[in-house]
Amino acid sequence: MNNLIVLPLIIPIITGIILVFLRSSIMLQRVISIITMITVSVISFLLLDIVQTEGIIRLDFSGWLPPFGILFVADSFALLLVLTASVVTTICLLYAFSTIGKDNEKMFFYPFVMFLIAGVNGSFLTGDIFNLFVCFEVMLLASYVLVAMGGKKVQLRESLKYVLINVVASWLFLVALAFLYGTVKTLNMAHIAERVAEAGQEPLLTTVAILFLLVFGLKAGLLLFFWLPGSYSVPPAAVQALFSALLTKVGIYALIRTFTLMFPLNQEITHTLIGIMAGITIIAGCLGALSGRDVYTIGTYNVIIGVGFILIGLAAGTETAMTGAVYYLMHDMVAKALLFLIIGMMVYLTDETIIKNMSGLIRNYPLFGWIYFIVLLALTGIPPLSGFVGKILIGQGALEAESYILLAIGFASSIIVLYSLLRIFLASFFGETTISFEDRKRIPKGAYSSFILLAISIVFIGVGAESLAVYVKDAVNTLINPSVYIDAVLKE
């Protein structure tokens, strides 16, 4: 039943609205929101399974055949991301229950999260480029509020910058859309792909593609990441986790879609450019991570490094590389969410952000410390955790594409990731304990359960990589052979 694929978007929206009416009952809001996210996760998993047997499914809204109406297209790539995003959101909600505070909960925190995930899922699923813009906006508006949630001085300051940058980014998106429509005269992504192929992706079309590269790059934090460290440092931890897990990934998703489906030709220009941008991003991210003396700086620059690394996969562009990119995307969503939840908890426990001012946390919170250690290893790409498969496949892909410089930058960045995260571990978790066992703040159970669930996911993605392989391969098949997607949309 094709209508199923709109559910990952529409269920959160409806829930969000209903929660507005349930403003006063926090308990009810929590229960409904978590049930919603679990439902969405289950549905997306079911869909993933259906797509394996029945191939790509699409939903033509109102029944208008493509390319005239808007449609959702569910291929494995989109669904994998929908699934991961929904699961991560579910877990972040668990964390939020015990940490976000009643004030925020009464101020529609859960509705905004619902809208955020709706926008994210919509962006993954849509098959219409203008609708992608609209889905982005749903996600962005929700994120604007979530960054500012709490109303603290820093928050407002950084969220204003965040909003303004994104307003300009959305503007660029519209400019790109204008040019796109001006040239190919259609909005359906598959139809665009068809027309671009028909025109042989002439230089002008490549220019338009480059414009999209910048637009999505801005969202993904590819090269144009300046906005990221500031705005990702200020919101509540649950929101930080959601942001670092989801938002940049949507940009990455869009980049991958754009350059595998719509503008796959003329790669000497586009993919070279992506490669250059990814390389610079990683280097800059590494410099930033090295420079960090506080958990937020180190964390946020690690997000940037992750973005660059995934896009090495796209730049290399081979099947293996794309497979790696998909794996790494999923890994990065989970691991970054956990990283930021942990960072948030560290700050909560110590009222400090500078790593050297925290010390010996592991003595009072051993499990907490070891979970951090697991994230650290996962983000470094140490097997058999989640980062490993993606990393080696991207590496293989880069070798296939003979992108040796990117390979070197990408793998060298692992060292910086390790080094920077190890600094946190050594300075904050190890060392003399400054707070006595009796005086310690407690880590709420909800927070612990979210850590554990995410840690389990990290182990699962790594150890159980094979169980995902069938989906990932199917996803990559579409990315490598855009005709699969195009046919599913345009041929009945």
Partner 1 sequence: MKINDVILRTVVKGVVFIILTLGVYLFFSGHNAPGGGFIGGLVLGSGIVLLYITYDLETVHKKMPFDFKKVAALGVLLATGSAIGSLYFNAPFLSQTDGYFNIPILGEKHLTTVTIFEAGVALTVIGTLVTIILSISEDE
Partner 2 sequence: MESLIVVLVGILVSVGTYLILSRHMIRVIVGTAILSHAVHLLILAMGGLKKGIVPLLGQSEGEFTDALPQALILTAIVISFATTAFLLVLAYRTYKTNGTADFRELRGVSDE
Partner 3 sequence: MTFELAIILLPFIVAACIPIFYRRLPKKVIGWVVLVVPLSLFLLLTTYIPRIAKNQTFSNNYEWIPSFNINFTTYLDGLSLIFSLLITGVGSLVILYSIFYLSKKESLHHFYCYLLLFMGAMLGVVFSDHLLVLYAFWELTSVSSFLLIAFWHHRKASRAGARKSMTITVSGGIAMLVGFLMLYSMSGTFSIQEIISNIAGISEHALFIPALVLVLLGAFTKSAQFPFHIWLPDAMEAPTPVSAYLHSATMVKAGIYIVARFTPIFGGEMTWFWAVTGVGLLTLFWGSFNAVKQVDLKALLAFSTVSQLGLIMSLLGLGSIAVYLGYSQDSIIYTQAAFAALFHLINHSTFKGALFMMVGIVDHEIGTRDIRRLGGLMPILPFTFTVALIGSLSMAGMPPFNGFLSKEMFFAATLKITQLDVFSIDSLGVVIPVIAWVASIFTFVYCLIIVGKTFFGKIKPDILDKNPHEAPIGMLIPPFILIGLVVGIFVFPNLLGHYILQPAMASIYPTFPSTEELTPHISAWHGLNMELWMTIGVVILGGTLYYFLKRWKPIYRWIPQRFTLNSLYETIISFSENVSENLTKRYMTGNLTHYFSYIYMVFVIVVAGIFFLTDSFEWSLMSNSSVESFELILVFVVIFAAVAILFTTSRIASVLLNGVLGYSVAFFFVIFRAPDLALTQLVVESVTTALFLICFKFLPDLTPERTSKRVKFTNGVISILVGATVTIVGLAVINYEKFETISTYFEDAYNLAGGKNIVNTILGDFRAFDTMLEVVVLFIAGLGVYTIIKLKAKKGDADIEN
Residues 323-342 that bind partner 3 (CB under 8 A): 323
Closest separation between CB of residue 55 and partner 3, Å? 20
Distance between CA 123 and CA 64 in Å, rounded? 20
CA angle (378 as vertex; 373, 382 as ends), nearest 5: 105
Cα distance between the two ends of the chain: 16
52, 168, 178, 182: which one binds Na ion (CB under 5 A):
182
Verify binding: residue 157, partner 2, rule CB under 8 A: yes
Distance between CA 183 and CA 254 in Å, rounded? 20
Q: Which range in 138-146, 272-280, 330-338, 448-456 contacts partner 2 by CB under 8 A?
A: 138-146
In SS3 terms, 293-352 reads as CEHHHHHHHHHHHHHHHHHHHHHHCCHHHHHHHHHHHHHHHHHHHHHHHHHHHHHHHHCC
45, 55, 60, 446: which one binds partner 1 (CB under 8 A):
60
Judged by beta carbon distances under 5 to 8 A according to partner kind, the member of partner 3, partner 1, Na ion, none in contact with residue 170 is Na ion
- Compare residues 119 and 482 and give the one whose CB is closer to partner 3: 119
Verify binding: residue 148, partner 2, rule CB under 8 A: yes
Judged by beta carbon distances under 5 to 8 A according to partner kind, the member of Na ion, partner 3, partner 1, none in contact with residue 271 is none
Distance between CA 75 and CA 489 in Å, rounded? 11
Distance between CA 45 and CA 57 in Å, rounded? 14
Verify binding: residue 151, Na ion, rule CB under 5 A: no
Closest separation between CB of residue 483 and partner 2, Å? 26
Q: Which range in 2-10, 230-238, 277-285, 439-447 contacts partner 1 by CB under 8 A?
A: 2-10
Closest separation between CB of residue 170 and Na ion, Å? 4
Binding-site size for partner 3 (CB under 8 A) equals 129
39, 98, 170, 433: which one binds Na ion (CB under 5 A):
170
Verify binding: residue 222, partner 3, rule CB under 8 A: no
Closest separation between CB of residue 233 and partner 2, Å? 8
For residue 71, give the H/E element and its range.
strand 71-74
- Compare residues 46 and 160 and give the one whose CB is closer to partner 2: 160
Residues 62-101 that bind partner 1 (CB under 8 A): 62-63
Say if residues 129 and 192 touch (Cβ distance below 8 Å). Answer: yes
Judged by beta carbon distances under 5 to 8 A according to partner kind, the member of partner 1, partner 3, partner 2, none in contact with residue 354 is partner 3
Site pattern 187..226 for partner 2 (x: CB under 8 A): x---------------------------------------
Verify binding: residue 130, partner 1, rule CB under 8 A: no
Say if residues 385 and 454 touch (Cβ distance below 8 Å). Answer: no
The crossing angle, in degrees rounded to 10, of helices 319-350 and 366-380 is: 150
Question: Residue 31 has what DSSP assignment?
Answer: H
Closest separation between CB of residue 446 and partner 3, Å? 21
Q: Which range in 5-13, 47-55, 91-99, 337-345 contacts partner 1 by CB under 8 A?
A: 5-13
Distance between CA 410 and CA 401 in Å, rounded? 14
For residue 486, give the H/E element and its range.
helix 482-490
Q: Which range in 178-186, 247-255, 393-401, 410-418 contacts partner 2 by CB under 8 A?
A: 178-186
What are the backbone angles phi and psi of residue 2, rounded to the nearest 5°? -65, -30
Query: Which residues pair with residue 72 across a beta bridge?
Result: 59, 126
Q: Which range in 46-54, 182-190, 203-211, 260-268 contacts Na ion by CB under 5 A?
A: 182-190
Closest separation between CB of residue 345 and partner 2, Å? 22
Closest separation between CB of residue 488 and partner 3, Å? 19
Verify binding: residue 175, Na ion, rule CB under 5 A: no
Judged by beta carbon distances under 5 to 8 A according to partner kind, the member of partner 2, partner 3, Na ion, none in contact with residue 177 is partner 2
Amino acid at 389: V
Spacing of C-alpha 451 from chain mean position:
18
Residues 409-438 that bind partner 3 (CB under 8 A): 411-412, 414-415, 418-419, 422-423, 426, 430-433
Judged by beta carbon distances under 5 to 8 A according to partner kind, the member of partner 2, Na ion, partner 3, none in contact with residue 392 is partner 3
Q: Please give the structure tokens belonging to residue 484.
A: 């699969």
Helix residue ranges, H only, 185-266: 189-199, 203-220, 227-233, 237-242, 248-257
415 burial level (CB within 10 Å; 0-12, 13-18, 19+): exposed
Tokens 């999505």, residue located: 216
Say if residues 67 and 491 touch (Cβ distance below 8 Å). Answer: no
Closest separation between CB of residue 299 and partner 2, Å? 14
Verify binding: residue 316, partner 3, rule CB under 8 A: no
The Cα-based distances of 212 to 219, 280, 326, 389 in angstroms read 11, 19, 20, 29
Residues in touch with partner 1 (CB under 8 A): 1-3, 6, 10, 13-14, 17-18, 20-21, 59-63
